[in-house]
Amino acid sequence: MNAKRPIGIAVAGLGSAARMMLPSLQDHPRWKLSAITDIDRDTLASVADMTGARASVDLDAMLAAPDVDVVYIATPTLLHATHVRAAAAAGKHVIVEKPMAETASAALAMIEAAERAGIFLIVGHSRSFDIAIRRMREIIAAGTLGRPRMIQSTVYTDWIYRPRRPDELDPDQGGGVIFRQGAHQFDVIRLLGGGMLKNVRASLFDMDASRAAVGAHSVFLSFEDGAAATAVYNGYGCFMTSELCFGVGERGFEDPVEGLGAARRAYLARSGGSEDGLKRVRAAGQARGIPPHHPFFGLTLVSCEAGDLRQAPDGLFLYTARGREHIPFPPERNVYDAVLAEMAQAIDSDTRPLHDGRWGLANLEVCEASLRSARSGTEQALVRQVPVR
């Protein structure tokens, strides 16, 4: 493909994830939003009005269009495998949302379809594309701090009380925080630690009988090189980690302490029933402009042999024998810019992207193994890990 030609992209599924991503495509020098699809006609019409993209309820017709080079698949997790295989069969490159699928076997079918079709497949684990995480990785890779030995990811949110479909809460359908949020944590931890996890031991928690779900987890991960990591997530909306993270929330906006737990209070105030309408209202509110700070996916703390790293509101803090140093850098327009850049780079250079299907499968393997570990009370070996390339 001519590097100068805009890359045509189509978006399938116009919920929360897509609404966060769409602003990246506005006035982008390299990308052109060609087409959108969703089964909900009202959603489709309102996004078409907003973006001017060609709208269709027919995913196959959208995939056949010659001005579509890449498809961003942000449909519910249970549909990823079907939609990725259809896009690959149509010869389109794919960015698919995390978790890649609900099972490793579904993910493998996606990888095989992509390899057969010779298309690039990126799993858009947006959190490891956060600039703060990418900078941490660069500092670690430079080697001056020595090897990373301990990595912590601790995130407390109100995830479980946000409007959901039942499948989103059920780990057997790729739901609950272990699949939906653990997928981000394992991705970040693997990127910072080099990718090659060896085994996992996990406890999962359902703490509210009125909302049956896996809503919290505590996961201990060992790397092949002896490093260790912990991934702790609590989605029950009492304490929230933004309070520990300088009052900055998951997307880089201020998260004042008075507003914390709003989703939990709203959930307690309503009387059950379908949450579909509320989901659509929430999704529509996701396009929020440029954040003043870096997104804070809770507390990420990396201990290397010669120092520790963590996020600052406007950069990183590096702690060494010299004391604390601030490494400043400005926030990015939208975290999906980096996801799009990785795909554009793969297309331009004809080389496999880092966050490809095998990387996504390795993250998914940790989600599945955590579930098995919690159910069996045993440590689980990991066999599908791949290194950071």
Ligand X SMILES: NC(=O)c1ccc[n+]([C@@H]2O[C@H](COP(=O)([O-])OP(=O)(O)OC[C@H]3O[C@@H](n4cnc5c(N)ncnc54)[C@H](O)[C@@H]3O)[C@@H](O)[C@H]2O)c1
Positions touching ligand X (CB under 6 A) are 12-17, 37-40, 43, 59, 74-77, 79, 97-98, 124, 126, 180, 279, 283
Burial per residue of 22-50, b for 16 or more beta-carbon CB atoms within 10 angstroms, e otherwise:
bbbbeebebbebbbbbbeeeebbebbbee
Q: Which of 236, 145, 246, 148 is CA-nearest to residue 190?
A: 148
Indicate the SS3 state at residue 215: coil
The DSSP string of 217-278 is: EEEEEEETTS-EEEEEEE-SSSS-GGGTTTTB-TTSSB--GGGTTHHHHHHHHS--S--HHH
- How far apart are CB 313 and ligand X at their closest, in Å? 20
Task: Give 59 or 302: the residue with its C-beta nearer to ligand X.
Answer: 59
- How far apart are CB 307 and ligand X at their closest, in Å? 29
Task: Give 142 or 281: the residue with its C-beta nearer to ligand X.
Answer: 281
Task: Give 251 or 358: the residue with its C-beta nearer to ligand X.
Answer: 251
What is the distance between the alpha carbons of residues 335 and 346, in angstroms, rounded to a whole number? 18
Burial of 354 from C-beta contacts in 10 A (0-12 / 13-18 / 19+): middle
**C-alpha dist (Å) from residue 324 to 305, 307, 310:** 16, 10, 11
Task: Give 14 or 25: the residue with its C-beta nearer to ligand X.
Answer: 14
- How far apart are CB 286 and ligand X at their closest, in Å? 8
Task: Give 75 or 300: the residue with its C-beta nearer to ligand X.
Answer: 75
The DSSP H or E segment spanning 304 is: strand 299-304
- How far apart are CB 275 and ligand X at their closest, in Å? 10
Task: Give 278 or 327: the residue with its C-beta nearer to ligand X.
Answer: 278
- How far apart are CB 96 and ligand X at their closest, in Å? 8
By beta carbon distance, the residue nearest ligand X is 15
- How far apart are CB 75 and ligand X at their closest, in Å? 4
Provide the token pair at 241. 């980690």
